[in-house]
């Protein structure tokens, strides 16, 4: 009887273990066959696969607990990306992402008329836009006014609830420019990007927004609000030289049913912080130094990016494409599942400005009031280019201090943050709009923690990014 109990317990344990397995087909008999092509496992044989599954099962509850499932509205297709960029229609009943392994969920919007089913390989020519899911999270604060540390792995906990004021544990997210509320260093705070939109996650454009049909970098410089020209794809020319109002309008009208909009500062911060956690690359992403503003490229290690200006150009002596081992270094994950162009490429305007100052954006107070305030971040009317205290917690500006000024390679003095020395200028009355990430030629100044200011007017080096929420 005792042996039977042991056998039953053993069988139950085996069933439980298999239930958390990612995907391994075992045929018991003369031969054992294993295929990892439909899974996220790295192992090439049965024994190693079982060891890997055991490790994953042990860490599953602590690592992935609370990860909000990607929201797939009609027309948004879940996909898995192979290392070479091959896109497969994902089966959502199986594992198609794993943030514990830095594999972020991806989805695409297809061109009109294209149709595929689960398991199909999707042609690149049928894809209009790529997006990456950013699940709701809280993070441990380190600089609510005085930095307790500088560069570090940001402590992130996925959570679909909002933090409240519990002294020494967590705090209610203050949401506004210059405010820390009751928050203190060492406490957890829900990131504001999720609260403002009332969502458990959002889809960030995988690449800078491109201009459909452009066959040269000049052809992608169009000051227009024609949303039919939007693409978000690798190896496309970044859409630039448009006013913030047109960028905002084209983004807003792109896919209203998916709540499309222009990325704002806090949403950029949410991506940047996740990238610098155990769920991301946990380092500064490599710069896109492609001088033709092509999306998804990454500088070669042989190019000098440790000074300003850095080395840049267009060709395989300067950079490699997104679907290469060098290309992966320019993503938020260090692999093809991440977000590209967060460093270099074009400066990316975000829908974030100084209160009372709309600059050359094309907006007036009246036209901007036509949109819900959740679509933009507003900063103190007292802002100056060094007023880092007016940050919004979570936007990856003021928290990146302390800030220092010193000479760069061109013998000009600039302000830099304490996270990789990225360029750091706050908005002011003359330059009231934020832009992020830096430019292909910025070298050491560029990065996911770069922030600077602009008039809001059109510029040949200024682009933007989409969000769906």
Q: Which of 1-10, 126-135, 226-235, 321-330 has the lowest mean pLDDT?
A: 1-10
**Region 341-358: what's the mean pLDDT?**
99
Burial 98-115 (b: 16+ CB within 10 A, else e): bbbbbbbbbbbbbeeeee
Asked if pLDDT for residue 348 goes beyond 60, the answer is yes
Q: What is the pLDDT of residues 264-277, one digit of tens each?
A: 999 999 999 999 99
Cα(330)–Cα(322) distance, integer angstroms: 8
The H or E element that residue 251 is part of is: helix 244-254
CB 456 within 8 A of CB 362: yes
- Give the residue-averaged pLDDT of 93-110: 97
- How is 432-444 classified by DSSP, letter by letter? -EEEES--TT-GG
Tens-digit pLDDT profile for residues 172-228: 999 999 999 999 999 999 999 999 999 999 999 999 999 999 999 999 999 999 999
Q: What is the pLDDT of residue 47?
A: 73
Spatial separation of the C-alpha atoms in residues 346 and 437, rounded to whole Å: 8
Rounded to the nearest 5°, which phi and psi values hold at 24?
-145, 120
Q: Dump pLDDT digits (tens) for 57-89.
A: 544 445 667 899 999 999 999 999 999 999 999
Q: What is the pLDDT of residue 61?
A: 45
pLDDT band at 6 (very low <50, low <70, confident <90, very high): very low
Mean pLDDT score, 385-405 = 98
Residue 51 has a pLDDT of 66
What's the CA gap between 380 and 330, in Å, rounded? 33
Extended beta strands in 251-369, E state: 260-262, 298-299, 319-320, 347-354
Q: Is the model more confident about 28 or about 45?
A: 45
Does pLDDT of 373 surpass 70?
yes
Of 8-17, 257-266, 301-310, 320-329, the poorest mean pLDDT is in: 8-17
pLDDT score of 5? 42
CB 294 within 8 A of CB 216: no
Environment class of residue 317 by beta-carbon count within 10 Å: exposed (0-12), middle (13-18) or buried (19+)? exposed
- Alpha carbon 192 to its chain centroid, in Å, reads 15
3-state secondary structure of 357: coil
Directed axis angle between helix 46-64 and helix 2-19, to 10°? Answer: 70
- pTM score of the predicted model: 0.89
Q: Average pLDDT of 327-351?
A: 99
C-alpha 335 chain-centroid distance: 13
47 or 150: which carries more pLDDT confidence? 150
Assess whether pLDDT exceeds 50 at residue 33. Answer: no
DSSP 180-231: -TT--TT-EEE-HHHHHHT-SEEEEESSPPEETT--STGGGB-----GGGEE
| d(C-alpha 316, C-alpha 319), whole Å | 5
Model confidence over 134-175: pLDDT tens digits? 999 999 999 999 999 999 999 999 999 999 999 999 999 999
Q: What is the mean pLDDT of the segment spanning 37-50?
A: 63
Please report the pLDDT score of residue 83 as a whole number.
98
More confident residue, 36 or 272: 272
């Amino acid at each position: 009887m005792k042996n039977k109990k042991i056998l039953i317990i053993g069988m139950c344990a085996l069933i439980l273990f298999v239930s958390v397995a990612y995907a391994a087909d075992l045929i018991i008999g003369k031969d054992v066959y294993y295929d990892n092509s439909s899974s996220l496992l790295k192992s090439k044989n049965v024994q190693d696969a079982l060891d890997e599954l055991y490790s994953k099962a042990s860490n599953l509850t602590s690592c992935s607990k609370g990860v909000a499932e990607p929201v797939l509205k009609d027309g948004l297709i879940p996909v898995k990306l192979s290392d070479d960029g091959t896109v497969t229609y994902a089966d959502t009943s199986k594992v198609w992402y794993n943030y514990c392994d830095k594999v972020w969920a991806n989805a695409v919007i297809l061109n009109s008329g294209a149709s595929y089913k689960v398991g199909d390989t999707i042609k690149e020519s049928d894809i209009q836009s790529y997006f990456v899911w950013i699940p709701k999270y809280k993070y441990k604060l380190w600089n609510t006014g005085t930095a307790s540390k500088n560069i570090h792995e940001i402590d992130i906990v996925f959570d679909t609830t909002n933090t409240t004021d519990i002294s020494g544990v967590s705090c209610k997210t203050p949401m506004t420019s210059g405010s820390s509320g009751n928050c203190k260093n060492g406490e957890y705070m829900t990131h504001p990007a999720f609260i403002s939109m009332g969502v458990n996650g959002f889809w960030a454009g995988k690449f800078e927004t491109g201009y459909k049909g452009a066959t040269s970098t000049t052809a992608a410089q169009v000051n227009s609000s024609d949303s039919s020209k939007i693409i978000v794809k690798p190896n496309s020319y970044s859409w630039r030289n448009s006013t913030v109002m047109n960028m905002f309008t084209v983004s807003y009208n792109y896919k209203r049913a998916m709540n499309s909009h222009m990325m704002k500062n806090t949403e950029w911060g949410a991506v940047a912080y996740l990238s610098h956690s155990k769920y991301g690359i946990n380092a500064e992403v490599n710069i896109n130094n492609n001088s033709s503003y092509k999306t998804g490229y990454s500088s070669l290690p042989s190019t000098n990016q440790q000074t300003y200006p850095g080395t840049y150009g267009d060709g395989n002596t300067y950079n490699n494409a997104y679907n290469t081992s060098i290309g992966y270094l320019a993503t938020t994950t260090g692999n093809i599942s991440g977000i590209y162009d967060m460093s270099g490429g074009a400066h990316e305007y975000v829908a974030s400005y100084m209160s009372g100052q709309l600059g050359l954006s094309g907006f007036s107070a009246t036209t901007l009031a036509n949109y819900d305030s959740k679509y933009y971040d507003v900063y103190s009317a007292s802002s100056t280019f060094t007023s880092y205290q007016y940050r919004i917690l979570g936007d990856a500006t003021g928290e990146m201090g302390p800030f220092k000024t010193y000479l760069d390679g061109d013998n000009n003095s600039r302000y830099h943050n304490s996270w990789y020395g990225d360029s750091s200028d706050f908005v002011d009355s003359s330059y009231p709009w934020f832009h992020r990430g830096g430019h292909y030629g910025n070298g050491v100044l560029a990065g996911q923690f770069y922030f600077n200011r602009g008039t809001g007017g059109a510029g040949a080096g200024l682009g933007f990014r989409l969000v769906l929420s």
